[in-house]
Structure 1
Amino acid sequence: MNSQKKKFQFPSAFTVLFIILILAGVLTYIVPAGLYSRLSYDTDENIFIVENQNGENDTLPATQETLDSLNIRMNVSKFLDGSIKKPIAIPDTYQKIEQSPQGLLSLIISPVEGVMDTVDIMVFVLILGGIIGLINKTGTFDAGIAALSKKTKGKEFLLVVFVSLIIALGGTTFGLAEETIALYPILMPIFLASGYDAIVCIAAIYMGSSVGTMFSTVNPFSVVIASDAAGISFSEGLTFRGISLVLAMFITLIYIYRYAKKIKSNPKNSLIYEDKEKIEERFLKNYDPNNVIEFNWRRILILVVFLAAFPIMIWGVSSGVWWFSEMSALFLAVAFIIAFLTGFSEREAVNTFLEGAADLVGVVLIIGVARAINIVMDNGMISDTLLNYTSSIIENMNRGVFAAVQMILFSFLGFFIPSSSGLATLSMPIMAPLADTVEVSRAVVVTAYNWGQGWMSFITPTGLILATLEMVDVTYNKWLKFILPLMGIIGIFAILMLALQTIL
């Protein structure tokens, strides 16, 4: 009797995250615990509050003299006008504290805490899933795909360029990232019907967002906060960052084009060819190019209502007024309108919405588990220790080496502290003054921070990539096979540009 050798299957996104969660727990036993003192501003009392490593608070006048005495080289106005909202680390205050290892019970609890901590994002994703379920059942997407396929025949890659550039614009201006989750169910059928695979769709959306946020120009959640915390204007290095963004997007689009061209010429060249039928079954279930659904007034109106929500959402987020609660409320209102437009009975509309939301339960749980990893490291008090280690590495280095190593270290820190604003306020008061010791502009440190953290986001499991892959049924190893060469190219490009910035 012949026994067939079982083919190795790469672990699911959940398994990958739980392995990393265990490793994070192990690190809390190995890496010494430590903290910097933190400085925050009390708007009601108009005072600074200094919290030491024991959790004790001291109050100081909210003046420039206070900042100077603490060796925090930034203007006090940045606190007074609300530019700096989060507590910042105070230079030269790092102290080791009692170890706080995270045992088995902490590891088991952390995913629950992660889910609770990210419930706002989860609600947003589930509502989107419900809307997608409603729209799919009406045949709106299928009819739209057929209409668009006619228009773009022979020029399909223009869609990739258009999608990537629009999303990159959102990334570089206001950090468009989590919001792009809504685009996959819409664009995936269009890309598949155009002869591409799921990886091309992911690359167009995810890399548009990632390159845009990596090479941020005026993003208030990263480069502006980092510049404020470094004590400089965000306009320093703005032109340089803008040029770098254009070049990086050009490189990325060429890379995607080369892969997409191979897929068009022979579908077997796809890295996920073995999953082609399964993915097409999910996203092109009811689409038949030989039996085109009529794109009638009802379907056009449903699509218009859905798409109209996106510019409203972008306005709300970019103006700084909205976050996930407001975005969820917007799309919930859209869901009510679309449910009415479908013509379904009340029971059918509700059940269809719930079925659509249920399709994304796996995605929202991944978001919660990813957050659990950060919770374990925060509770283990090792993030500040890693920052202290990395800052000691780069003192008194050669200019070009200093900039390159800064970027690599920020990539490392970005894995453990995925929040762009959190990493900026924690690290900039410590890292920025080191630029003075090697006689380079602090704008170089801001650029290195932004590029380093953004570069790591291409693959970091604690970020958005695993939730993205779960949405489109692509495994992490296939994404790594596609993206690592581009990651290497962008990394070399960024380091060369950083070295150039140090001499400009």
Structure 2
Amino acid sequence: MAEETMVEAATEGGAPKKRDKLHFPTAITVLFIVMLFAAVLTWVVPAGEYSKLKYVADDDVFSITNADGTTEEQPATQETLTKLGISANVESYLDGSISKPTAIPGTYQRVDQNPQGVVEFLLAPINGVYESIDIILFVFLLGGCIGVLNHMGALTAAVAALSRVTRGREWLLIIVLTLIIVAGGTTFGLAEETIALYPILMPVFIAAGYDAMTCIAVIFMGSCVGTMYSTVNPFAIGVATKAAGISMAEGMSWRFVALAIGTVISLAYVMRYGHKVRLDPSKSVVYDFKERIEERWGQRGEAPEFTTPMKVSLAVFGVSFVVLVYGIVAHQWWFDYMTAVFLACSMILAFTCGLDEEVFMDEYIGGCGDLMSVALVVGVARAVNILLENGLISDTILYFFSGAIAGMSPVLFIIMMLVVYIILGFFINSSSGLAVLSVPIMAPLGGAVGVSKTAIISAYNYGQGLISYVTPTGLILASLAMVDVPFSRWFKFVTPLLVITVLLNALLLVAQVLV
């Protein structure tokens, strides 16, 4: 009897295991559905804005933009912030730590509706690509480097060598890589940068007997856990504590405890799943994609000889990551410098790879093209936020939830604060942007019911971290697009852990309020 392809069906205990009856939409389609939802909201949710404060360094003043569009200037002093009800320290504005406009508590006003119609809907993804061009260029240049290394056979040869070293101890891959990525997330907000790891680590995990989902979990979930339980991440905890007017050291012990517990739970979850898949591949949630995934990422035939040009080229590629991490940690590089690193890497690879110039360029451009879908996902995801911002309803959503939780008991308040930040994290998919917009509003509400600012910041961190596991406007669709795995399979895999993490975060917050 002819075998059906793995993509169409697989056998589990002799019985066919077929694809989902309802095909889940691709990443781009999901994002357009979310865009449509956001556009509809701009027609039904009342438009409104808080007055925003921003420091103007050239004039050494605070510029305040009111909801009606009028502006005024105030002295850049602590007295001005205190008068406006903003608890942040003035030094955080003067030294540039807080650079985004800060919402002023108690200033929300209704404004004229600005619904996003057909033209605005069509322009949103285009503008989203414009605004995300720094990340998109990074993805393209990374793809070019990987295309050349794949053509050389360097990655295949390296994976074969690594597999021989780790044979019998494959579980070390999960532990070591997860801890490294978690450390990056909790210290400097390692997130988008992890896209670069999939083409490198997928062949390693496949060769070790794991499936694609194990690799995705280690990389994506590791970064989510690290950023959700940020300890010194300047883009999350740094901005949030400054917006609240407290030291980053306050609440540090709670953050380390949460990080340790969250890491152990997520690591145990992934290791249990990975062990189950290695013993019985049919237990994989992407088993019906096994043939296609292994064709793309697995080692085919005899591994090529690990030649000197391969070793030198891989060393250049590896050093680029070292430089990248150094620049992010030591000099707060953003994607312009990060992309420049891989541009330099590309130039050096042209001399070390041993390929003819024409072949090199063909493979390089082909590698860039392989990541086109990832680049488009990044740009279209930004379109959702553009529709909400231009529709003037982001502040309304914040105002509604801040009013809904005011005056509750401390325990109920902090649990509801977690729920609020999960929802806000979906609509405002930027850790620093969410902190600057919401913490000045939420911190006074917490003080009124006896909840500390550190607990408010923990709720902010846990909430926006939780929603990052599944929100289409975040990094998950771009990550799945890298390895061509449907969102439905990721959701099936992560749902039990998501429920566990929600309960854990709620318990951590209650403990922080009561102790």
Residues of 2 paired with 1:467 and 1:80: CA distance? 36
In structure 2, do the counterparts of structure 1 residues 329 and 5 end up closer, same or farther at CA, with 3 Å as the change threshold?
closer
User: Cα deviation per residue 1:105-131 (whole Å; 9 max; x = unaligned)?
Assistant: 111111111111101100000000000
Shift of 1:297: 2.0
Shift of 1:6: 10
Residues of 2 paired with 1:208 and 1:325: CA distance? 25
2:245 corresponding residue in structure 1? 231
Structure 2 unaligned blocks of 5 or more: 1-17
1:432 corresponding residue in structure 2? 443
| SS state at 1:77 partner | helix
User: Cα deviation per residue 1:118-149 (whole Å; 9 max; x = unaligned)?
Assistant: 01100000000000000011111111111111
User: Cα deviation per residue 1:1-50 (whole Å; 9 max; x = unaligned)?
Assistant: xxx99943211111111111101111001110000000011111111111
**Aligned: 1:258 with 2:272:** yes
Residues of 1 paired with 2:355 and 2:225: CA distance? 41
Residues of 2 paired with 1:350 and 1:297: CA distance? 21
Residues of 1 paired with 2:375 and 2:131: CA distance? 12
Match runs of 1:8-23 below 5 Å: 8-23=22-37
**Aligned: 1:500 with 2:511:** yes
| SS state at 1:127 partner | helix
2:474 corresponding residue in structure 1? 463
Instruction: Please tell me the residue identity of whatever aligns with 1:401.
Output: L
TM-score, normalised by the number of residues in structure 2: 0.95
2:260 corresponding residue in structure 1? 246
**Aligned: 1:173 with 2:187:** yes
User: Cα deviation per residue 1:181-230 (whole Å; 9 max; x = unaligned)?
Assistant: 00000000110111111000000000110000000000000011001101
User: Cα deviation per residue 1:455-495 (whole Å; 9 max; x = unaligned)?
Assistant: 10000000000010011010000000000110110110011
Pick aligned residue for 1:147 from 161, 178, 182: 161
Instruction: Please tell me the residue identity of whatever aligns with 2:457.
Output: V
| SS state at 2:450 partner | coil
Instruction: Please tell me the residue identity of whatever aligns with 1:430.
Output: I
Pick aligned residue for 2:361 from 344, 350, 360: 350
2:401 corresponding residue in structure 1? 390
Instruction: Please tell me the residue identity of whatever aligns with 1:294.
Output: E
| SS state at 1:227 partner | helix
Shift of 1:235: 0.8
**Aligned: 1:191 with 2:205:** yes
Residues of 2 paired with 1:38 and 1:226: CA distance? 16
1:88 corresponding residue in structure 2? 102
Instruction: Please tell me the residue identity of whatever aligns with 1:111.
Output: P
Instruction: Please tell me the residue identity of whatever aligns with 2:360.
Output: A
**Aligned: 1:72 with 2:81:** no
Residues of 2 paired with 1:118 and 1:97: CA distance? 29
**Aligned: 1:125 with 2:125:** no
Give the stretch that moved more between structures: 396-405 or 217-226.
396-405
Residues of 1 paired with 2:157 and 2:265: CA distance? 34
**Aligned: 1:301 with 2:315:** no
Shift of 1:416: 0.5
1:101 corresponding residue in structure 2? 115
Residues of 1 paired with 2:97 and 2:168: CA distance? 48
Q: CA RMSD in A?
A: 1.3
Residues of 2 paired with 1:428 and 1:250: CA distance? 29
Decide whether the 8 Å contact of 2:309 with 2:354 is kept in 1: no
Instruction: Please tell me the residue identity of whatever aligns with 2:300.
Output: Y
Decide whether the 8 Å contact of 2:148 with 2:364 is kept in 1: yes
Instruction: Please tell me the residue identity of whatever aligns with 2:149.
Output: I
Shift of 1:337: 0.9
**Aligned: 1:272 with 2:286:** yes
Aligned length: 498
In structure 2, do the counterparts of structure 1 residues 147 and 48 end up closer, same or farther at CA, with 3 Å as the change threshold?
same
1:208 corresponding residue in structure 2? 222
Decide whether the 8 Å contact of 2:466 with 2:498 is kept in 1: yes
| SS state at 1:91 partner | coil
Residues of 2 paired with 1:60 and 1:32: CA distance? 30
1:478 corresponding residue in structure 2? 489
Decide whether the 8 Å contact of 2:414 with 2:451 is kept in 1: no
1:49 corresponding residue in structure 2? 63
Residues of 1 paired with 2:162 and 2:419: CA distance? 42
| SS state at 1:319 partner | helix
| SS state at 1:154 partner | coil
Residues of 2 paired with 1:86 and 1:451: CA distance? 22
Residues of 1 paired with 2:482 and 2:183: CA distance? 23
1:414 corresponding residue in structure 2? 425
Pick aligned residue for 2:303 from 288, 292, 303: 292
Identity of aligned pairs, percent?
49
Residues of 1 paired with 2:341 and 2:481: CA distance? 25
Instruction: Please tell me the residue identity of whatever aligns with 1:66.
Output: T
Pick aligned residue for 1:135 from 137, 142, 149: 149
Shift of 1:421: 0.5
Shift of 1:319: 2.6
Decide whether the 8 Å contact of 2:19 with 2:288 is kept in 1: no
| SS state at 1:162 partner | helix
Residues of 2 paired with 1:277 and 1:49: CA distance? 59
Shift of 1:54: 2.3
**Aligned: 1:365 with 2:364:** no
Residues of 2 paired with 1:66 and 1:155: CA distance? 60
Pick aligned residue for 1:488 from 480, 494, 499: 499
Pick aligned residue for 1:62 from 60, 64, 76: 76
Shift of 1:73: 1.8
Residues of 1 paired with 2:471 and 2:378: CA distance? 13
Residues of 2 paired with 1:260 and 1:401: CA distance? 37
| SS state at 1:430 partner | helix
User: Cα deviation per residue 1:319-341 (whole Å; 9 max; x = unaligned)?
Assistant: 34411111111101101111211
2:5 corresponding residue in structure 1? none
Give the stretch that moved more between structures: 293-302 or 369-378.
293-302
User: Cα deviation per residue 1:257-315 (whole Å; 9 max; x = unaligned)?
Assistant: 1111111111111111111111111112x533xx2322222211111110111121111
TM-score, normalised by the number of residues in structure 1: 0.97
